[in-house]
Structure 1
C-alpha cells in the first residue's frame, strides 16, 4: 500500500442470526459500534437476511417497509451516530405499492440518509439432488435496478448472494466504473464448499476489481445452515481477508490504486473484441 490516503478500510460483520427480530437488530448495531470504535473503518457491511431467519416461511412475517420500518430506522440511527457508511446487509422488504416482498440491501450515509437500495435480482431457486432444495420465488419477487456506493472516486456495486453467479451483471457493474463488488450472501453447506471462494476469485480475476462477501455466521441448529467464511478478494484474485465459520468481524485496508494498476498491467478490458461480442445493458431502457 503506497499511503494511507489511498486506503479504504472496510469491516465485514459475520454474525449469528436468531428468530427474535429485535435481538438481531440490536446485535447488529452493537457489532457495528464495536468495530467502528475499535477499527475505525469508513465502511461497515452486514450479512444477508440479518434481521430474520433465512427461509421462505419467515420472509412475510419479518418483512418491513423501507425506510420506515424498525430495521431501517435502527440502521439510519447507528450510521449517523458513528459517522460511518453502512451497507445494511439485506432484509425482507415489503413494498406496499405493489404488495410484493423483496430481498433488499440498503446503503446509509454517515448522516443517516438512505443512499440507495438494491433488490436481489436473481432469485435463489435450486434443487441439488442429495444436497439442498430452496425456492426464493415462492415468496419473493426479483429486483431490476443497480445500486452503488461512491467514496472519493472508489465505486462499489451491490449484489446479493446468488447474483454472484451471473457474470453479466458483474460486468455491467464493471462497465459502470465499479472498483469493487460487494455481496451480502448466505451460501449453504452444499454450495459453500464448492463455489464460495471460486466465484469470488473468478469475478475478481475476470473484471479486475475487489470482491467482498458478508455471510451470516454458521449456526448448525438453524434450519438453513450458512457456510460462513466472509471474504475480501483483491483485483489479482488473491484473498486479502477471510473469516472462519463462527461470529467474526474481518477488517481490510483496500489499496484503492490497485484496481488501476492491475488493469494497466493486464489490459484485458481494452483487448476485448467488442466488434465480435459484448455484454449489453438494458438498465437504461428500463429505468
Structure 2
C-alpha cells in the first residue's frame, strides 16, 4: 500500500490553501499513492479575524475533497478543517476521509485541546474557541485499519493504545506542530507511538510561517512499526511517499508481542 504525506503552508487565504492542497493530491496520485494525507487546518491557518465561516461535514470543504478523491481515484485524508461546532462560540477541529469514489468513509473530531497558562510567558486556551470531540475512529482503507487523530492528541498515548487494541494497524497524525516544540518532540513522539502500538504512523505537518507570528515545524514523515523513519519531508511544501508492508508489521508483532502480552 503506497501512501503520501502532503506538507502544506496554509495561510489566511482559504482558496489558495485549497488550490495548493489539490495540487499536492494530484502529485500524490501521479506517484501512485493509494492514500494521501493532508495536515491539520488545511482550510485556514492564520488570524481569527480572517478565518472562514465554519462548515458542516457536508459543506464546500467536504465537497472539494470528495471530488478530488473521486477524480483522482485515491483515498484522501483531508487533513482537518473548521467544522460548525455545538454553539456559536465554538467550532470542531475535524478530519474527513474519503474513499476512491468520493464517499465519506470516516470522521474524527480532535479530542485533546491545547490549554496552557504560564505566567509571563504564554497564555493560550484552544478550548475557548474549539469544542472537543468524544469518539475514536478507525477507517478500513484497503488492507489497513487506520486510526485517526489530530496534532495535540499525539501527546496522549492512551488514545493510540485504544486505537491499537481496537484493531488499528496505521495511525494518522495531521498536525500544525510549532517549531519550538517540534524540533525536540515531534519525531520522538511519533516514533514512540509507532513502537508502543506496533503500527505504521503517517504524520502530515504544516511547514513555515503563519500569521500571527507562528512557525510550524513540518518534517512530515512515515514511521514503521519498528520505530524507523522510512520517509521524511524536507523543509518545503511538497509530497513524500512510502510503501507500507503489512507482512513486516505482522512479523514485528510476532517477534516482539507486546500488544499480545499486555495485562492492562
TM-score by length of 1: 0.86
Q: Hey, what does 2:246 align to over in structure 1? A: 256
Task: Say if 1:129 and 1:266 are closer, same or farther in 2 by CA, change over 3 A.
Answer: farther
The worse-fitting range, judged by mean Cα deviation, of 59-68 and 151-160 is: 59-68
Q: Which has the higher strand share?
A: 2
* C-alpha distance 28-16 of structure 1, shift in aligned 2 (>3 A): same
Match of 2:2 in 1: 9
SS of the residue aligned with 2:25? helix
Can you give the 5+ residue segments of structure 2 that lack an aligned partner in the other structure? none
Cα distance, 1:198–1:59 mapped onto 2, change above 3 Å: farther
Alpha-carbon distance between aligned partners in 1 of 2:135 and 2:49, rounded to the nearest angstrom: 25
1:218 lines up with 2:211 in the alignment: no
Seen in structure 2, the aligned counterparts of structure 1 residues 175 and 78 have a Cα distance that, compared at 3 Å, is: same
- Give the Cα–Cα distance (whole angstroms) in 1 for the partners of residues 91 and 49 of structure 2: 11
Q: Name the structure 1 match of 2:42.
A: 50
TM-score by length of 2: 0.93
How many angstroms apart in 2 are the aligned matches of 1:257 and 1:30? 32
Report the counterpart of residue 11 of structure 2 in structure 1.
18
Report 1:60-99 matches (<5 A). 61-68=52-59, 70-95=60-85, 98-99=87-88
| Aligned match of 1:265 | 255
Q: 1:209 matched to which residue of 2?
A: 199
The offset of 1:35, in angstroms, is 2.2
**CA 1:249–1:41 in 2, change beyond 3 Å: closer, same or farther?**
same
Deviations along 1:65-93, one digit per CA (max 9) or x if unpaired, are 2112x211110111110111000000011
Establish whether residue 162 from structure 1 lines up as the match of residue 149 from structure 2: no
Taking structure 1 as reference, are residues 60 and 142 closer, same or farther at Cα in structure 2, changes over 3 Å only?
farther
The unaligned stretches of length 5 or more in structure 1 are 1-7, 279-287
Alignment correspondent of 1:28: 21
The CA distance in 1 between the partners of 2:196 and 2:133, in whole Å, is 25
Q: Secondary structure of the equivalent of 1:150?
A: strand
Change (3 A) 1:128 1:43: farther
What is residue 185 of structure 1 aligned with on the other side? 175
Aligned to 2:227: 237
Correspondence 1:95-106 to 2 at 5 A:
95=85, 98-99=87-88, 100-106=90-96
* Conserved? CA contact 1:155–1:178, under 8 Å: yes
Q: What displacement does 1:54 show?
A: 4.8
Cα deviation, residue 199, structure 1:
0.4
CA shift for structure 1 position 217: 1.8
* Contact persistence 2:93–2:109 (CA under 8 A): yes
Q: 1:14 to 1:133 in 2, by over 3 A?
A: farther
